[in-house]
Structure 1
Amino acid sequence: MQIAKRNDWKTEPMPSTSTNITLEKVYSQEEFDRIAAGVIPEQMEDKWFIFYEAPWLYLHRSWTGFCIFKVHFEVIAESVKIAEVQVNRDPEEYSNTDDERDASMLRILLDSRSERDVQRS
């Protein structure tokens, strides 16, 4: 399994115009390992570049490099939980301002990574 690193793609830092949202989720260590492996876009349709630098997971739009989400994880016993989520609120980089929509989209992104078959990653 290839592990995504910051230098694998163009990235921009999270702007100072950001907000914290609430997303409560706990993953097993195995699920978290799949999330932390990240995503390197392989084709134009791949919308996200994702990489992990402990304790933060960074989710960038692949076309622009803009950082849309930063997710801070904490180890709790045998599991890993989301401790904090920052979302880009710079209107020139990201137009959404609905916290619930962002939480839902982020949950889908993380869950789809956590559930992937390790062989396909």
Structure 2
Amino acid sequence: MTVVAKADDWDIHALPEQYTTLKLDILLDENESDAIRRGVIPDDMGEKWFCYFDNNTLYQHRSWSGHCIDVIEFVAEGNQLRAVSAKVNRDASQYGNTDDAEDVTRITEMLGWLYQQ
């Protein structure tokens, strides 16, 4: 049985008021899209991320603190998903990066990690 992560599966906090919005254009194939829709529930604290998908939006939280780091908006294209934008945490007490290009790279890599789970 496939487990699908939901918001109440983890102790999480909403994205803070300090965030930036980044433009994305990442098309995922059907298998990748299915994996993104399942999200990830960490098996142990060694896994750094809790991610869940709701209403064409992927929420990515640090597993240790529950802080929301990214809220990624998708549009459906048939059975595929296209990431079109991301709100990225800019509260320095929760997330230290401020480089937009680095965040786009990290988000792209994390999407790859998610669909390998």
Q: TM-score range by the shorter chain?
A: over 0.9
TM-score using structure 2 length: 0.93
Residue 51 of structure 1: aligned partner: 52
Residue 99 of structure 2: aligned partner: 98
CA distance in 2: counterparts of 1:46 and 1:95, whole angstroms = 19
Cα drift, residue 29 of structure 1: 2.4
Q: Deviations over 1:35-84 (max 9, x none)?
A: 11011111121000000111211000000000000001101244310121
Further displaced range: 46-55 or 76-85 = 76-85
Runs of 4+ in 1 over 4 A off after TM superposition: none
- After TM superposition, list the pairs within 5 Å mapping 1:16-35 onto structure 2: 16-35=17-36
Residue 111 of structure 1: aligned partner: 112
Cα drift, residue 27 of structure 1: 0.7
Query: How many equivalent residue pairs?
Result: 116
Residue 75 of structure 1: aligned partner: 76
Gaps of 5+ in 1: none
Give SS of 2:92's match: coil
CA distance in 2: counterparts of 1:3 and 1:76, whole angstroms = 21
Q: Deviations over 1:63-107 (max 9, x none)?
A: 000000000110124431012111000111111101111111111
Give SS of 2:104's match: helix
